[in-house]
Chains A and B, each alone.
Chain A
């Protein structure tokens, strides 16, 4: 899923400075699951902004809502009445959500309250780690299901650099050296031959940015 993190309040305050009526819009999918932009976080941000405006003596009225997915035009369109009531929308969705709202309501400024970080998975309660770089050319078949593009600090394809430090990465001793993990996994599966093969430079055109996937209509 997409993992995001809320921006510091200072940045958000700066964006909405001068506005008197705003809509804070949460998204019910990825960012809810990663505790960044679900109904709960909408309520927390809303409360913080009310307190901040009270402290600074600003007038600020906040509407709150959370929709199923901010990246769906129809679902965003349904917000028309609400958006018309406010001056700006503060989106607690990922970058896709912010842009969908901006496209549907071109007259209304839309501001991002989150920083969209990566595609990842939960590692522990409240901890998410990046596991996919969305490179568009999946390499995992060759590396025992461990992605070196994400998990090796240098994204190497042909084995470790000289910075393996007792199986840890020289860049961050907390992190495992991806190529040590890959070696162990392939060894466990009796597939070390896969690692001995030479892999040519990556095709960075696997996704022509901005990426687009077209599938035949069903």
Chain B
């Protein structure tokens, strides 16, 4: 084995790959060879570092130097300066946007300071395509401990005691779920990993599979041991080619090392894992729908009970957990339930991964202890609102969640608090909105998503959401009435109360939470015909400021509908009844004389 003196960790997550991190890696390899250091410095493609805003990321170890926004052109400089001469390349260091101080080590960055990485522990740390790196960092020792030292009952008890709850949305206690499945008697049982991440703005499951696929494999095997299943299935989005490829590699390696297959670690426990592909249906995040999809059918949910733990895949008892939930299992087994339950709040233990996005400075993937406040996440980790704008709202829980205001910024984040606040944990999307975002449009955006993704099986979701969307459209088109606001609320409640599955039962949340928290914006649309954020096109008015207008006639000539009139060298005028709000005049005006009102 070559003893490398230095490691160059290059982020291989999808975001960074999109920014040519593959090229960066190859450049490093070639250029190291040129200077004859290929045996001293190892170049490793890791999983996501999380700090996507600043990607591509390159980390130099053991110097612990964190380079951001690296381009393929920067590699030679890093080699010549840092590797050869031991000098940091200052212009690639992260600059704190507030203090303007350059920071070398990631742990000193606000983005990382408050993070606690359990599920993401190996992401950005190990090479996901090398099982030995995983083993080197304690990998498969939890499985080993289970097989040699723990009975299924005692392992499940550890999970129960840890307080781990499902990270996919609902927050059902994981240990309890395992225990229920264990108690159902059947020759054949299944462990299913739900990797069909569908929330449009959450990508933690993919990052884990890309950055640390073995943790999922290990956890599924542990689950199999605990519930008495020898077969596992990973249901993964076909749109995640990189995660699929990494998972496949990991499965092959695990088999080669005997960590999957017959008689694992010399025990009488055998376990195999197969991959199943999702095909683009958000509703398949619901476990019964997921199971139907794995069976080759339309991914429609069915009424529970029977629960999958009783009758799941092919009618057999099946335990379904999502990727992030599984990623928490091995550390709990190795470090103990007490360690895990010491993190977090009373009813929500451990950490949660969030995909932080939207109008925020530090977009990325973060893992924080339960109980952290939204303020800490948004202002400390997230670095505050982009371009110095005003914070308006943060949306959590994706299409099932709600939009929270300033008032909730100091609420500790956990399952129950978010629910009480009218939102939910969901899979962990966290989208920050600023003063320019129209909350009615945001609600409409989510409804459009739900509408697209509703399976259509039950009436409230199929037709109810369509009607909700139509009402919202009416409002953003400036045709809403006060009565529509009442209708929105009443229909939302019925849909929540009577839909078949979680998708329908939560689909009105974005509407209800915006009605609760941003009623004034709805009222402005309905009563005053105004969109306070200036986003709803139909409610905009292009107006010419007389003082600034030089009468150049450029707007007049560019208006496609002849709505502008005026004499040359005299202020022009826009006839609002004719204006189609195309914005052509606004774009053309050279004197900033046209304002949006």
Bound together? no
Q: Which residues of A contact B (CB under 8 A)?
A: none
Q: Which residues of B contact A (CB under 8 A)?
A: none
